[in-house]
Amino acid sequence: MKIVGKTDKGFKRSDNQDRFVAGTLENGISFGFVCDGMGGANGGSVASGMLCKTLEEMLFLQGENKAMNAEEAVLDAVSVACAQIYTKAENDTSLSGMGTTLSGVSVCDDTCNVYNVGDSRVYIMREGVLTQITEDHSVVRQLFRQGAISEEEMAAHPQKNLITRAVGVRKEVEVDVSEIRLKKGDRLLCASDGLTNFVPKREIESMMMQRDLYAVPDMLIKAALKNDASDNITALVLEY
């Protein structure tokens, strides 16, 4: 599994509240996660940092376990981090309301589990076609499903940045999990909304097809910056 990621605070934000973590364990399981923090003066970076740290620590703790269940390990780590973030915010008023999105994958052999909380996304690039796997937990997505707005109206809606689910805003969180079978050459993209809100899907698709995998995250971020992204930007790419 090849893995490469990059994050940038962008031109409009004073700090970067995005975080990502990725790696391959001794038992052969690979993983990658993107977290986009929210809340408080520095609460977003605290929340996303705590979630990434917990995921990394708990996964590597089981890294030698050949019988490891990747999905259970990830969900356990998210559960622990969620409670920790919530408690820290309860005990520090400057961090009140902090939380973070989560988008990511764990890969064992050809089985890929996809995880999602919030509006960060996971895509798969297969045979030149980019497909979004996750579904946003957002106000505009909810309105779209209800038929209240069109897909075109979602992009310009005044509440497009409001999410309906995040890790840490409550003691527990529900994580959407799906499973796909990978084929040789498949590429996975985990991205924060600082990328997906400012780079059209067709442009992401074109850059995801670039032969040099290690250049892709940099290209994606440069495209978002060129389009005057007003948010932090993170792109994590994995190739099977």
Average of per-residue pLDDT across 67-96: 96
Name the pLDDT band for 68 (thresholds 50, 70, 90).
very high
Whole-angstrom distance, CA of residue 6 vs CA of residue 224: 13
DSSP 122: E
Q: Look at residue 234 in the predicted model and tell me its pLDDT.
A: 98
Whole-angstrom distance, CA of residue 24 vs CA of residue 75: 18
Q: How far apart are the first and last CA of the chain?
A: 5
Whole-angstrom distance, CA of residue 26 vs CA of residue 16: 31
Average pLDDT value over all residues in the chain: 93
Q: Look at residue 116 in the predicted model and tell me its pLDDT.
A: 98
Q: Domains plus CATH for the chain?
A: 2-135+165-239 (3.60.40.10)
Q: pLDDT of 171-195, one tens digit each? A: 999 999 999 999 999 999 999 999 9
Q: Look at residue 154 in the predicted model and tell me its pLDDT.
A: 62
Helices marked H in 23-179 — which ranges? Answer: 43-61, 70-91, 139-145, 151-156
Query: Which of 124, 170, 119 minimizes the C-alpha distance to 142?
Result: 119
Name the pLDDT band for 55 (thresholds 50, 70, 90).
very high
Name the pLDDT band for 12 (thresholds 50, 70, 90).
confident
Q: pLDDT of 20-52, one tens digit each? A: 999 999 999 999 999 999 986 679 999 999 999
Count of C-beta atoms within a 10 Å radius of residue 13: 17
pTM: 0.93
Q: Is 65:25 a contact under the CB 8 Å cutoff?
A: no
State both tokens at 1.
């599994």
Whole-angstrom distance, CA of residue 112 vs CA of residue 153: 32
Whole-angstrom distance, CA of residue 64 vs CA of residue 62: 6
Q: What is the DSSP string of 138-154?
A: BHHHHHHHTTSS-HHHH
Q: Look at residue 153 in the predicted model and tell me its pLDDT.
A: 63
Q: Is the pLDDT of residue 56 over 70?
A: yes
Backbone angles phi, psi at 95, to 5 degrees: -110, 10
HEC letters along 153-219? HHHHCCCCCCECCCECCCCCCCCEEEEEECCCCCEEEEECHHHHCCCCHHHHHHHHCCCCHHHHHHH
Q: Is the pLDDT of residue 160 over 90?
A: no
Per DSSP, the three-state class of 226 is helix
Q: Is the pLDDT of residue 95 over 70?
A: yes
